[in-house]
Amino acid sequence: MSDLSRRNFLKLSAGIACGPCAANVLSQTGIPTEAEAHSPFATTLPYPRKKLANVNELAVGKELSMTYPDRFSPISLLKLGRRAVNGAGADHDIVAFSRYCTHMGGTLIYRPESGSYRCPLHYATFDAAKGGLIVIGQATDNLPQLDLEVDGKGDIYAVGIKGLIYGRQANILT
């Protein structure tokens, strides 16, 4: 190997070796690395705080339909009448879920007699009292559940979502 080609080889090796170092330094400074910036899971956009309803508008077993975090994402808000996982309000029984089935995006139907959501496409069923737990069917993920807050006036706010809305790479669209 000539001196010239050996020099180029060493330069190239040093560049390759320092690539990860540079990425690590960027990561420590809070500046996204190239890989982070292009990851579909890298969104850091905050969830909106959106008023959904007032507790006075709810009745046990009757759901309200609306959207969150944007108009393309239908949700179901309901008062179960019994304590629920992540339930909001004085009785911890107010819950809200994405309306889209986690299997293939079917639009779910709430069944008050069982407190569950049933998908009309392949019959996956999700338990509203257990945080949207899949209880039967082909879906492998639980139903995304909204994080709710109730203020002193009884206004119910959505402030986030646990789980990924069907069909999205991130819940907040850019």
Task: By CB under 6 A, name the binding residues for ligand FES.
Answer: 101, 103-106, 119, 121-122, 124, 137-139
Q: Which is nearer to ligand FES, 49 or 122 (CB)?
A: 122
> 102 vs 136, 164, 173, CA distance in Å?
12, 9, 18
Q: How far is the CB of 146 from ligand FES (least distance, A)?
A: 19
Q: Which is nearer to ligand FES, 84 or 139 (CB)?
A: 139
Active site (catalytic) residues: 103, 122
Q: How far is the CB of 100 from ligand FES (least distance, A)?
A: 8
Q: Which is nearer to ligand FES, 61 or 137 (CB)?
A: 137
SS3 7: helix
Q: How far is the CB of 80 from ligand FES (least distance, A)?
A: 22
Two tokens, residue 57? 């508008």
Q: Which residues, 6+ apart, have CB-to-CB distance to 96 below 8 Å?
A: 52, 68, 75, 76, 77, 78, 145, 146, 148, 158
How far, in Å, CA of 118 to CA of 104, rounded?
A: 13
